[in-house]
Structure formats: C-alpha cells, structure tokens
Amino acid sequence: MAETTHQLLTVAEAIATRRSIRAYTSDPLNRDTIRHLLTAAVQAPTALHGEPWAFVVVQNAELLIAISKQAKSSWIKETAHYRDLHAAGRDDNAEKYLQTLEHDDFNIFYGAPALIVICGRPISPFVFADCWLAAENLMLAACARGLATCVIGSAVPILNTPDVKRELGIPADVSAVAPIVVGVPRGEAPPVSRKPPEILTWK
Ligand SMILES: Cc1cc2nc3c(=O)[nH]c(=O)nc-3n(C[C@H](O)[C@H](O)[C@H](O)COP(=O)(O)O)c2cc1C
C-alpha cells in the first residue's frame, strides 16, 4: 500500500500547486490515507450545518474499468445527436474529449487506484454546493500529502443510473455529485494557466 512520505504542504502551497492529474502509478492507497481525505472533506462549510454528504470509495480496478466502459458508450451515444446539431459552433476542448472517449483503451478514471464519489442527500437547496466544497477540501488535503486527484465529471451521469447506484450501494434518493480519482501521480503535471480574476465591481 502506498504510504506517502511527502512533507505536508501548507494550504497556500496546496492551493497554488494542485493540478488535475491524468496519469497514476498502480500503487494502491491505504485505508488510513483515504480516511484522512474523507475527514478533510467533511470539514467543509455546510449550509444550515446539514452535512448532506456521504461517500463511496471504489478501489476495485475491474469495477472502475467496467464503469468507465459504460460511461464512454453512454456519452458516445448521447453526443452523436449533439455533435450533429452543433457541428458549426462546437467547443474544441469538448470535441477533443469526445474523440478521446472513442479510444477503446481510454479509461475515464485514468487508471487511478481509487475513486471517491461524494454523494449528496437531498436535504436542502445547497447540497451540491456543500458537496463541491467538500470536494475541494479533499483535493487540497490530497495535494498537501503529495497525492494527485482529478474530478471526473464525465462519470456523473453513469454513477446516477439505477444499476450503477445499486452496484455501489447509493440509495435511490441520494445523488452522486463529485467523483474524484486519487492516487500517486505518474510524472509531472503540465502547467495550467488561469485568467486573472475579473473584477466586475469594487466599490
Ligand atoms: C465539475 C468538473 C468536472 C470535471 N470533469 C473532468 C473529467 O471528466 N475529466 C477530466 O479529465 N477532467 C475533468 N475536470 C478537470 C478540469 O478539466 C480541470 O480542473 C481544468 O482543466 C483546470 O485544470 P487544473 O485542475 O489542473 O487546474 C473537471 C473539473 C471540474 C471542476
């Protein structure tokens, strides 16, 4: 089991250096490490102190590959229609990603050894906000200990299908909100730019 010996980063360092990582070693994560990340996640602010989150952890590589295959075939079917409709004005990044999905050996989870799905119970209008705040906490905590993460938004639709929910033990009234892969990074993350903050008003 991979145990990180990485020196902990400060919050400011983790914010500045966290990147979405799309290549992982096969080193598994130990349960204590995953529990540490979940504990960080639940420290997030939560509307009305509702704590609507619940977590699914998948470390079974075969199951991740099976879910990836289902997600890919469902996206390919869904987007055929969309591609025809919007052929003229389509978004290049989206189009590139759709082309990648068509490769047989592409795994939407990038071969990461763990997927953590942050799920939300429908208790308030802020469930999604709460879950995404928990997601950022989890990703920064992972980054601080030298682990890599990537949000896998493309898994959300398949994770919310009745069959996959049943397989993962997600109750019918609970939604999969934020799927995040975690693992030991393979190689360096390419730099990613950001536009400077656009300030609309500063009175
Ligand atoms: C809601 C959401 C969904 C995302 N879905 C995916 C995805 O399905 N696959 C992927 O490789 N990256 C996904 N990402 C990662 C973004 O591509 C990434 O955050 C963005 O390119 C900025 O790069 P950075 O995270 O390295 O700063 C997602 C990010 C967010 C916030």
Question: Is 1's pLDDT higher than 50?
Answer: no
Q: How far is residue 36's CA from residue 155's CA, in Å, rounded to a whole number?
A: 24
Determine if ligand 1 sits within 6 Å of the CB of residue 34. no
Residue 88 binned pLDDT confidence (cut-offs 50, 70, 90): low
Determine if ligand 1 sits within 6 Å of the CB of residue 20. yes
152 CA to middle of ligand 1, Å? 7
30 CA to middle of ligand 1, Å? 25
Q: How far is residue 145's CA from residue 188's CA, in Å, rounded to a whole number?
A: 15
For residues 39-55, average pLDDT: 98
Determine if ligand 1 sits within 6 Å of the CB of residue 22. yes
Q: Whose CA is nearest to atom 17 of ligand 1?
A: 20
pLDDT at 12: 97
H or E stretch covering 183:
strand 175-183
Q: How far is residue 12's CA from residue 4's CA, in Å, rounded to a whole number?
A: 20
pLDDT at 169: 98
Better-predicted residue by pLDDT, 197 or 86: 197
19 CA to middle of ligand 1, Å? 9
pLDDT digits (tens, 9 = 90+) for 98-139: 888 889 999 999 999 999 999 999 999 999 999 999 999 999
